Structure 1
Amino acid sequence: MPSISQKGIQMPESPIRKLVPYAENAKKRGVKVFHLNIGQPDIKTPQVALDAVKNNSIETLSYARSEGSEVYRTKLANYYTNHNINVTANNIVATTGGSEALLFTIGSITDPGDEIIIPEPFYANYNGFSTASGVTVVPVISKIEDNFALPKIEDFEKLITKNTKAILICNPGNPTGYLYSKEEIEKLKQIVLKHDLFLIADEVYREFAYDGLQHTSVLSLDGLAQNAIVIDSVSKRYSMCGARIGCIVSKNQEFIKTAIKFAQARLSPPTYALIASEAALETPQSYFDDVKAEYVDRRNTLVTELEKIEGVKVAKPKGAFYCVAELPVADTDDFAKWLLEDFDFNNETVMVAPASGFYSTKGEGKNQIRMAYVLNKSDLIRSVAILKEALKKYSN
């Protein structure tokens, strides 16, 4: 029998999606499942983006340009300029989602055996993208006690070897919702310049910064032009997860030229999705103001309700729409599965993401879960009430 590759065997399962069959079975039994497990917003996609596809008169659906049209990239550059990021169309490569942007980036800057340092917990697919490229993730642990703030720079420095090629951050963070301050980004700037590394920032949640705090892009800092790479996407910003359009942004032209070769190899991003994404750039600021206010309200609701449960510790997010909570259970993988297989409260249950899948350090995050506050307030309150009953029953 032909054998599967070691790389394939080592590819991690998604902590977010691996429980889907259990959720589907629960629904077949007539149990209502509240989905706190995945960052799929219920916010409406801007009408201008939907109309651009609906009202289009294309007769031949042709390939797009590999790096995205110059018109789209120029409009994107204008968007970034409005966010204190001065780039041109030539600094941008459109991709099939932020995921492909990460794959192209890792492929462009690393060789098999190289290392990327990432503060954990981190977006679970960073593990998968690195495994697919034969790259080793070197984690530096952030703690729930510190609200998942940036670890000490000395902790990063201890991990740098001749194989280290980059530091990768998500800002604001998935799964933690932590927003790195300008001071923290400056510290990372100093260490990547000192050791001649790339600083990759996944900034797909840029718009979602709360409590009067401002997002600081790595591309807004002076002196980092050759080191900084931004990963971006329309998925969360415009509630367009299904469009699968993202981009890479960098002032390092050698890197951009290399990424375009990867883009050419997969031909092009989807044409209709590019049309929708270009139109979405016309979305008024009022849309984001309303969305931010809604997420702040939901965050406050979720954190307040969770803090009422004895034995639960919760980190308060400053951005994105995720929250990590520590539960009084030994293994949240088992607990999350049990919620869907063996538990219901008045014929309802919740689906959460076990946090161990957001760590690469073995044994870390075993008593934590990630929740996405992408449901309305009443559903969030109901979900936490169900979780409270579940914890009582599970502990018994």
Structure 2
Amino acid sequence: MPSISRKGQRMPASPIRKLTPFADKAKLDGKTVYHLNIGQPDIETPTGMIEAVKNIDFKVWAYTASEGTLSYRQQLAKYYNRNGYNITTDDIIVTTGGSEAISITFMTCLDAGDEVIVPEPFYANYNSFASQSDIVVKPILSHISNGFALPPISEFEKTITDKTRAIFICSPNNPTGYLYSRDEMETLKALVLKHDLYLFADEAYREFCYNDQEFVSPMHLDGLEDNVIIIDTMSKRYSACGARLGCIITKNRKFWETAIKFAQARLSVGLVEQIAGEAAIDTPDEYFDRVKAEYTARRNTVVNALNNMEGVFCPNPGGAFYVMAQLPIDNSDKFCQWMLEEFSYENQTVMMAPATGFYSTPGAGLNEVRLAYVLNNNDLAKAMVCLEEALKVYPGRVEAESVKPKLKAFCKA
């Protein structure tokens, strides 16, 4: 039998999707499964996007330009410039989702063996894209005790080597929901300029910042024009995950001229998706006001419920629609699988993502899970009751000292 590549063997499984067969079996057994494992919102996609697809009228379903259609990039430039990015259509490459934006960015900026520093926990697929490109992720641990704030710059300085090419951040963060402050962004600016590094910024959750907190992009900081690569997607912003439409934004011409070669190699992004994307940019602000209010209510439901459970601690996130929770368990992978295979409460159970898959440091995240508050409040409340009941009977419950008593004030929703 022919062998599998070493790269394929190294490729990590998704912590978000790897338990799907167990969830499917639970449903076949008649259980209701509350899916808090994946960032698939139940919020309705803007009507304008749906109508744009319904009203398509073309005779040939043709290729588009490798950088994206001009009309869609014009709309994107309009959106970003409303948000202070000061870009043109020539600063944009449209991609097949944020995933391809990350892959093209890695291939453009890093050679095999080069290093990218990422505060962890981080979006699990960063590891996957790094594995595909034979680059090395160097994690720097952030901590649940302070809500996963940016680690001290001294930790970055200790990690930088002659192979370091970039720092990769996500704000608001997936999986933690942490929103980097202006001071933290200024600190990163000074660091990347000092060491002449790229700063990759995943901004998939830009529109979802809570409690009137300010969203600060590296594009808002002067002097970083040649260092910043923005990675973005419409998946979460417009609740259009299936459209698979993202983009790269940069003012670095050498980067753009190189990245476009990778974009040309995959030919183009879908025409229908870009037609929908054009319509999305004209979505009224009221849509986002309603969505943010809904997510704020859902966040409060989940965070308050978690912090009222015995032995559980959950920081209150500043953005996105995820929380990381510390549970009194021995192993999050075992616990999440047990929830689907062996547990039910009133014929219900909860699917979560074990946090181990969001860390690169061995042993990190063993007592943490990520939950996506993407269901309606009624279902979220039921899921929280189910989780609380599960923790009472889980065979691997660990009665260890929690950070919860020390940090209760930090968690107020």
Q: Where on the TM-score scale, by shorter chain, does this alignment land: which range?
A: over 0.9
Aligned to 1:26: 26
Q: CA deviation at 1:378?
A: 1.1
Deviation at 1:153, TM superposition (A): 0.5
Q: Which residue of 2 aligns with 1:77?
A: 77
2:326 paired residue number: 326
TM-score (norm 2): 0.95
Q: Distance in 2 between matches of 1:46 and 1:328?
A: 40
User: Corresponding residue for 1:369?
Assistant: 369
Question: What is the match of residue 212 of structure 1?
Answer: 212
Equivalent residue pairs, number: 396
Q: What is the DSSP-based 3-state SS (H/G/I as helix, E as strand, rest coil) of the residue aligned with 1:14?
A: coil
Q: Deviations over 1:225-253 (max 9, x none)?
A: 00001000000000000000000000001
- Cα deviation per residue 1:352-395 (whole Å; 9 max; x = unaligned)? 00000000000000100000000111111110100011111114
**1:100 alignment partner AA:** E
- Residues of 1 paired with 2:20 and 2:26: CA distance? 10
- Structure 2 distance, partners of 1:307, 1:164, is 39
| Distance in 2 of aligned mates of 1:315 and 1:114 | 34
The equivalent of 2:299 in structure 1 is 299
Q: In the alignment, what sits opposite 1:186?
A: 186
The residue aligned with 1:381 is: 381
Code of the aligned partner of 1:351? M
**Alpha-carbon deviation of 1:105?**
0.1
CA–CA distance in structure 2, aligned partners of residues 172 and 364 of structure 1:
21
Q: Aligned-pair distance for 1:71? A: 1.6
The residue that corresponds to 2:346 in the other structure is 346
Name the counterpart of 1:312.
312
Instruction: Tell me the residue number matched to 1:202.
Output: 202
- Distance in 2 (alpha carbons) for counterparts of 1:176 and 1:394: 24
Q: Which residue in the other structure is 2:169 paired with?
A: 169
Mapped to 2, the partners of 1:163 and 1:18 lie a distance apart of 32
Does residue 49 in structure 1 map to residue 10 in structure 2? no
By how many angstroms is 1:74 displaced? 1.6
Secondary structure of 1:343's match?
Answer: coil
> Which structure 2 residue ranges, 5 or more long, are not aligned?
398-413
In 1, Cα distance between equivalents of 2:148 and 2:220: 23
Match in the other structure for 1:89:
89
Aligned partner of residue 138 in structure 1, secondary structure: strand
| Superposition deviation, residue 21 in structure 1 | 0.3
Tell me if 1:13 matches 2:7. Answer: no
The equivalences for 1:268-279 within 5 A come to 268-279=268-279
- Identify the residue that residue 405 of structure 2 maps to in structure 1: none
The 2-side partners of 1:348 and 1:217 are apart by 41
Aligned residue for 1:281?
A: 281
- Where in structure 1 are there 5+ consecutive unaligned residues? none
Q: Secondary structure at the match of 1:291?
A: helix
Partner of 2:110: 110
Identity percentage of aligned residues: 56
Partner of residue 150, structure 1: 150
Letter in 1 for 2:15: P
* Alpha-carbon distance in structure 2 between the residues aligned to 1:74 and 1:271: 15
Aligned to 1:313, the other structure's residue is in SS state coil
Q: CA deviation at 1:61?
A: 0.6
Secondary structure at the counterpart of residue 394 of structure 2: helix
CA shift digits 1:52-78 (9 cap, x unpaired)? 110111221111111101121121111
| Superimposed CA distance per residue, residues 116-156 of structure 1 (whole angstroms, 9 cap, x where no aligned partner) | 00000000000000000000000000000010000001100
Structure 2 CA distance, aligned partners of 1:304 and 1:366? 22
Matched position secondary structure for 2:33: strand
TM (norm. structure 1) is 0.99
Q: Name the SS for the 2:159 alignment partner.
A: coil
* 1:226 alignment counterpart: 226
> Once the two structures are superposed, what CA deviation does each residue of 1:182-220 show, in whole Å capped at 9, x if it has no partner?
110110000000000000000010000101111101111
Letter in 1 for 2:198: F
| One-letter identity of the residue aligned with 1:213 | Q
- SS of the residue 2:61 aligns to: coil
**In 1: Cα distance, 2:316 partner to 2:331 partner:** 22
Task: Give 3-state SS (helix, strand or coil) of 1:314's partner.
Answer: coil
Aligned to 1:124: 124
